[in-house]
Chain A
């Protein structure tokens, strides 16, 4: 599993190097958003996620006592990106940043940067001076920051990426909730998930 993922990462990084940032000519028909809803996809994801979590535990146990939630989240995102088969920008960005992080991991240089970037966690915006950017532009910017790897993407492509990203995230939540349910035996209330446990 690890070797396959690392291989995938390598391939992804190669692909990413060849690719330009910004707009790409893409035929929307080639990206099928409905695949995230299929049961088999979810099953595959769950299996892989489970393996990844186990691996994280194995790797982290000698170092830390408990694998942090962040590690699990990163693993989950990575597996999700792999499941995306690299057709979407956000998946490539996740894998690329992880690869870069892995290379830099030994130096432990950019760990914090990676954590902030890959997972797209909500960072509170630093208070800045008021800028009169059109509201739409502001929102597009916010959205582009949420979707990994989509900062310099045009608006239509950004919407495309967002569509796929939302579908993938939904599948991820479903799979992780099911897995959590399985492992912990307690129901996971989605509605209450916004509050941290």
Chain B
């Protein structure tokens, strides 16, 4: 942009440069026409400013207004440079990139950039911002918003096409008779463009798009558009090529995409949903799964409620969780209930407690979970405990170990072996005595 401006000023200063002057003259004429045409209508600020300011400066303002985006800057630069070399009035002017991309041609402008089309698109752009452009910041805000859209959509085919169109949109509307008709046409297209760009939002699509449409359609509405620009929360979306550019359909498409994206997450989460396509089936599975999880929680909580009040022990001292890669469910289970009920257990020194783990199935998600259970647990447990047959004891009475301290640590993927004390707990436990495997 900045490069373009010196060019323009240079052109002004150098009367010998015919083409440049032509461009500027045309530009000025365009400005004047625009002023007269729109009268009280306020352009998005980009157009109004030029009418108020110096003609040369108008371009600058326009460029500046749209120059919030580097993409626009580049476009402007590119568009301005080849212009002086051209003789064709329309095409030249069409090439002048105006930053008013946000209101540029809609999907209809995907066609060839002929002069007429350029005009129509340009008139679209011109008519699109019929709202009051209160100030440059607003205009810049508006334009920078579409500018951001431009940059975001740069990778798409349609966007490239639209860019080309916009390059031609600059201010070619000035001298075409058909502009009047086209301006109205492009007003609607501009709406759709605005809506296109603003409708596919992730949030709050409906309000801004409807507002935009109304403002665009009714060129007498002034404030709503500016006020919309100040709404920070809509995301501009661009219609993909070949898709309807209607604001409703765009909003719907965004919504559908949101939903399908989240359904994909859920599909990964809920087991057994890979084969199911379609929302209804997925929802069924999700509902069943949530219900089963809740039932499990209920069941486990009842079980926990039935556990003996031995909870006064500091649990951190005698349990730890760790993951053990080797999971073998086949455990020789030795019923140690008689020993478990050894009242000596009640006098556990927490440090010297050792837990043994027996195989248990953690069906769902934690094949790696291994638990060490404190021997003290079974002591005064009710039935469920005495029925436990999952204690394994690989070796005769081991000794307690200071490894109990390690029980506090969670160690991933480590195989730990702890001894299984069921006798008076003196001495140290040999961790190797008992292998825990899950």
- Seen from chain A, the residues whose Cβ lies within 8 Å of a Cβ on chain B are 25, 28, 33, 37, 39-40, 42-43, 46-47, 50, 53-54, 57, 61, 66-73, 76-77, 119-122, 135-136, 139-140, 142-143, 146-147, 155-156, 159-160, 162-163, 165-167, 169-170, 172-174, 176-191, 193-194, 196-197
Q: Is the CB of B305 within 8 A of A72?
A: yes
Which residues does chain A contribute within 8 Å of B103, judged by CB atoms?
none
Q: Identify which of B172-180, B311-319, B426-434 touches chain A.
A: B311-319
Q: In chain B, residues 276-310, which have Cβ atoms closer than 8 Å to a Cβ of chain A?
A: 279-280, 283-284, 286-287, 289-310
Q: Is the CB of A162 within 8 A of B377?
A: no
Which of B269, B299, B361, B391 has the most C-beta atoms of chain A within 10 angstroms of its own C-beta? B299
In the bound complex, how far is the Cα of B380 from the Cα of A183, in angstroms? 11
Q: Is the CB of A173 within 8 A of B290?
A: no
Partner among B308, B310, B359 whose Cβ is within 8 Å of the Cβ of A187: B359
Smallest CB–CB gap between B24 and chain A, Å?
46
21 contacts between A and B (CB under 8 A): A33-B269, A39-B321, A39-B410, A53-B311, A66-B305, A72-B302, A76-B300, A121-B294, A122-B295, A159-B265, A166-B290, A178-B366, A182-B377, A183-B310, A185-B378, A185-B385, A186-B385, A187-B388, A190-B361, A191-B363, A197-B384
Which residues does chain A contribute within 8 Å of B287, judged by CB atoms?
139, 142-143, 146
Given A72-B301, A76-B301, residue A25 in contact with residue B373 (CB < 8 A): no
Cβ of B362 under 8 Å from chain A: yes
Write the chain B residue with the least CB distance to A156. B258
B340-372 Cβ-contact flags toward A at 8 Å (1 or 0): 000000000000000101111111111001011
Task: Give me the 8 closest cross-chain CB pairs, A-B, nearest first.
Answer: A190-B363, A187-B360, A69-B302, A73-B301, A159-B262, A72-B301, A176-B300, A139-B283
Cβ of B54 under 8 Å from chain A: no
Which of A169, A182, A186 has the most C-beta atoms of chain B within 10 angstroms of its own C-beta? A186
Q: Is the CB of B298 within 8 A of A162?
A: no
Cβ of B29 under 8 Å from chain A: no
Q: Is the CB of B304 within 8 A of A189?
A: no
Which residues does chain A contribute within 8 Å of B388, judged by CB atoms?
184-187
Which of A73, A119, A135, A185 has the most C-beta atoms of chain B within 10 angstroms of its own C-beta? A185
Q: Is the CB of A177 within 8 A of B362?
A: yes
In the bound complex, how far is the Cα of B385 from the Cα of A40, in angstroms? 28
Q: Is the CB of B373 within 8 A of A43?
A: no
In the bound complex, how far is the Cα of B360 from the Cα of A159, in angstroms? 33
Write the chain A residue with the least CB distance to B358. A187
Write the chain A residue with the least CB distance to B370. A178
Q: Is the CB of A170 within 8 A of B259?
A: no
Cβ of B87 under 8 Å from chain A: no
- Seen from chain B, the residues whose Cβ lies within 8 Å of a Cβ on chain A are 203-204, 233, 255, 258-259, 262-263, 265-266, 269-270, 279-280, 283-284, 286-287, 289-312, 315-316, 319, 321, 323, 355, 357-366, 369, 371-374, 377-378, 381, 384-385, 387-391, 410, 412
Q: Is the CB of A72 within 8 A of B290?
A: no
Q: Is the CB of A184 within 8 A of B303?
A: yes
Given A69-B302, A180-B307, A181-B360, residue A25 in contact with residue B203 (CB < 8 A): yes
Given A43-B321, A174-B365, A178-B362, residue A163 in contact with residue B269 (CB < 8 A): yes
Q: Is the CB of B265 within 8 A of A33?
A: yes
Write the chain B residue with the least CB distance to A171. B365
In the bound complex, how far is the Cα of B363 from the Cα of A181, in angstroms? 13
Q: Is the CB of A169 within 8 A of B365?
A: no
Partner among A69, A139, A166, A187 whose Cβ is within 8 Å of the Cβ of B270: A166
Partner among A147, A156, A178 whose Cβ is within 8 Å of the Cβ of B259: A156
In the bound complex, how far is the Cα of B374 from the Cα of A40, in angstroms? 21
Smallest CB–CB gap between A181 and chain B, Å?
5
Which residues does chain B contribute within 8 Å of A189, judged by CB atoms?
360-361, 363
Write the chain B residue with the least CB distance to A33. B265
Partner among A40, A122, A180 whose Cβ is within 8 Å of the Cβ of B410: A40
In the bound complex, how far is the Cα of B266 from the Cα of A191, in angstroms? 21
Which residues does chain A contribute within 8 Å of B258, judged by CB atoms?
156
Which residues does chain A contribute within 8 Å of B301, judged by CB atoms?
69-70, 72-73, 76, 176
In the bound complex, how far is the Cα of B431 from the Cα of A188, in angstroms? 25
In the bound complex, how far is the Cα of B315 from the Cα of A40, in angstroms? 16
Which residues does chain A contribute within 8 Å of B283, judged by CB atoms?
136, 139-140, 143
Which residues does chain A contribute within 8 Å of B300, judged by CB atoms?
76, 173, 176-177, 180, 188, 193
Smallest CB–CB gap between B285 and chain A, Å?
10
Which residues does chain B contribute within 8 Å of A33, judged by CB atoms?
265, 269
Partner among A54, A146, A167, A197 whose Cβ is within 8 Å of the Cβ of B299: A197
